[in-house]
A and B are shown apart, each in its own frame.
Chain A
Amino acid sequence: MKYVLKKLVTMLITLLCISFLVYLAFDIIPGDAALSALGTDVTPERLAAVREEMGLNRPFIERYADWLINFIRGDFGISYKYRVPVSEMIMSKLPVNVMMAVTAFIIMAAVSVPIGIYSAKHKGKGIDRFIIILNQIMMSVPHFFMGILITYIFGLVLKIFTPGGFVSYDKDPGGFILYMIFPCIAIALPKIAMSVKLLRGSCIEEAGKDYVRTAYSRGNNTSKVLYHHVLRNAMLPVITLWGMTLADMMVGSIVIEQVFNIPGIGRILLTSISYRDYPVVEAVIVLIAFVVIVTNFCVDIIYQLVDPRITMQKETLNK
């Protein structure tokens, strides 16, 4: 429990730090926010008025505190370009990305564990070699190129789905799922390769350890040794990888959106970057960072549940 609390505090501090750094960066570097909101041809009086209205005359810390409190309430400010609340713009799109990332994650977990175990079990045999080679290649394929290949093969050649023909969930749930499954696979494939490689290696490493010999000496058969003893230990590094993976998949969904023409948060982010619409960029970045950090926290907790040694190791490390 102490461990969870400690991790929780660390997570909150990290969140605070990131929000502060992002706010600081967007406050200092772009120059005058009022100017960028209004454009260059503006009277000095109007500029001063807007500045007052945006609260730019107040001290930095005060503005940051205000912004943070509003952010937690769900008020992300007003878009410079579209003059609508940022929350309206992004909150309807964010679920698409979260859903893509989560689906890709589930696909990855469901596919990579059996393949990794299978490959480790058949170490050195033909099928294992084939999996290793396939893995090496898959890890080198950028997910957006995988998306392009999938579009070409499944969309244009096999015509299983219509490229660019995104349908929203409320209109046609079946069509939506059929359309979304391909981008999710594109995001998942390189990560599947990575986790298969890691799991295979760590299964083989664990299988050579002393406690496995002990397990055999008690009369366990191979599959019992694998599922009761080896797997749990072998999963530890994989869980760490998965923690980082979910964050990558979140970012990956932003890129893959462009490949499949999905209206998600990525398109808003990209237009906002090119128009220098800072409140939008800021909000998207902080939101994604939030998702990433909360995920990391969850991974730390899960890791501790799987590996009872973790609390003690941390303590001895600190000493």
Chain B
Amino acid sequence: MQTKKKHSLNLIIGLIITCIMLFLIILGFFYTPYDPTKMDSSAKFAAPSIKHLMGCDNFGRDIFSRVLKGMGNTFVIALATVVIGVVSGVLIGAVTGYFGGWLDEVVMRINDVVFAFPSILLALVFISLFGTGKYNVVLALGIAFIPSFARIVRGEFIKYREMDYVKSARLAGVSHLRIIFVHILPNTMTVLLSSIMIGFNNAVLAEAGMSYLGIGVQPPDASLGSMLSEAQGYLFSAPGYAVFTGLMIILLVLGFSLLADGLKKG
């Protein structure tokens, strides 16, 4: 009983954090208290106040507005990354896991090789070849994330393809395509959903890391990572800039990891 209560608590806290963050992100798309690029020399390094919730940066720009915008960018990039990774991963995993055979062998060997490679490193190769920028980050990380999803989905499909209900569906003449997408895929959802959330977190962290290094999102676009790198220069005069920006990353990741935990166990 005790443990059960705690898991749902995880889920609830995760849900609350995620909802607040999503609200802020959506808000940021339509409305920010100030123009995030407008400089105001009188407000340089202003401390947090009612007027400027998180204070102002070195150019007197409102940090809260910038955080909202940056968070939106981070979120969209992470989401697009996960979509690429999940869609391709599910297709590869489903086909290889369901049919097996030599195709499975070959694809999984390639998968293993890519999997052995840290995803940021793979993204670095990609960036150095195709250049920096938002879209390349999405593509690079998306491709880097395919193997982990393919692995999970393949495992699930191998488990389900031997089950009696699948066998009887096959005997009844149901097409492979229908079995894959209608009979098996929905059953993998619980496993897939929590790994999507974990994947989303990894994407947020990887994007932030790359943008922090200056090889991700390029100005005038800003993401939480590139803002942190900027904020680091003013750590002494305006520590709030770095702290608030970092806090947003933490909350974004924390919310989804609590949700993933809650889903997995609950």
Contact = CB atoms under 8 A, between A and B. Distances in A.
Contacts of A25: 125, 129
B167 to A, nearest CB: 21
A247 B118 contact: yes
A248 B257 CA distance: 19
A134 B235 CA distance: 25
B86 interface: no
B6 to A, nearest CB: 8
A104 to B, nearest CB: 14
Contacts of A160: none
A136 B258 contact: yes
A140 B242 contact: no
Contacts of B254: 136-137, 140
Contacts of A247: 118
A300 B9 CA distance: 37
Interface string A285-315: 1001100110010000000000000000000
B116 A144 contact: no
Given A140-B257, A148-B228, A14 B212 contact: no
Leading 10 A-B pairs by shortest Cβ distance: A140-B253, A145-B246, A140-B254, A273-B128, A29-B129, A140-B250, A281-B128, A251-B118, A247-B118, A17-B113
Contacts of B129: 25-26, 29-30
Nearest to A276: B128
Nearest to B249: A142
Contact of A156 (B235, B253, B261): B235
B125 A292 contact: no
Given A137-B254, A142-B209, A270-B215, A289 B117 contact: yes
Range for the number of chain B residues in contact with chain A: 35 or more
B2 interface: yes
Given A142-B253, A144-B208, 19 more contacts: A14-B113, A18-B116, A25-B129, A140-B201, A140-B251, A142-B205, A142-B208, A142-B249, A145-B242, A148-B228, A148-B231, A149-B243, A151-B232, A255-B213, A273-B124, A281-B125, A288-B118, A292-B116, A293-B116
B121 interface: yes
A303 to B, nearest CB: 15
A178 to B, nearest CB: 20
A195 interface: no
Contacts of A254: 213
A278 interface: yes
Interface string A244-280: 0001101100110011000000100110111010100
Contacts of B155: none
B209 A144 contact: yes
A156 B242 CA distance: 14
B116 A156 contact: no
Interface in B164-186: none
A3 to B, nearest CB: 17
Interface of B: 2-3, 112-113, 116-118, 120-121, 124-125, 127-130, 132, 201, 205, 208-209, 212-215, 228-229, 231-232, 235-236, 239, 242-243, 246, 249-251, 253-254, 257-258, 261
Which of B120, B121, B243 has the most chain A CB within a 10 Å cutoff? B121
Nearest to A285: B125
B128 A272 contact: yes
A139 interface: yes
Nearest to A137: B254
A270 B211 CA distance: 12
A124 B3 CA distance: 8
Nearest to A250: B118
A216 interface: no
A152 interface: yes
Interface of A: 14, 17-18, 21-22, 25-26, 29-30, 124, 136-137, 139-142, 144-145, 148-149, 151-152, 156, 163, 247-248, 250-251, 254-255, 258-259, 266, 269-270, 272-274, 276, 278, 281, 285, 288-289, 292-293, 296
Nearest to A273: B128
B137 to A, nearest CB: 13
A273 B2 CA distance: 52
Contact of B120 (A22, A140, A149, A251): A251
Contacts of A276: 128
B130 A18 contact: no
27 contacts: A14-B113, A18-B113, A25-B125, A29-B130, A124-B3, A136-B258, A137-B250, A142-B205, A142-B209, A144-B209, A149-B243, A151-B232, A152-B239, A255-B212, A255-B213, A259-B232, A269-B124, A270-B214, A270-B215, A273-B124, A273-B127, A273-B128, A278-B128, A285-B125, A289-B116, A292-B116, A293-B116
A141 B250 contact: yes
A255 B124 CA distance: 12
Given A14-B112, A140-B250, A292 B118 contact: yes
A247 B127 CA distance: 20
Contacts of B201: 140
Contact of A14 (B116, B239, B249, B250): B116
Nearest to B14: A136
Contacts of B2: 124
A91 B231 CA distance: 32
Contacts of B231: 148
B124 to A, nearest CB: 7
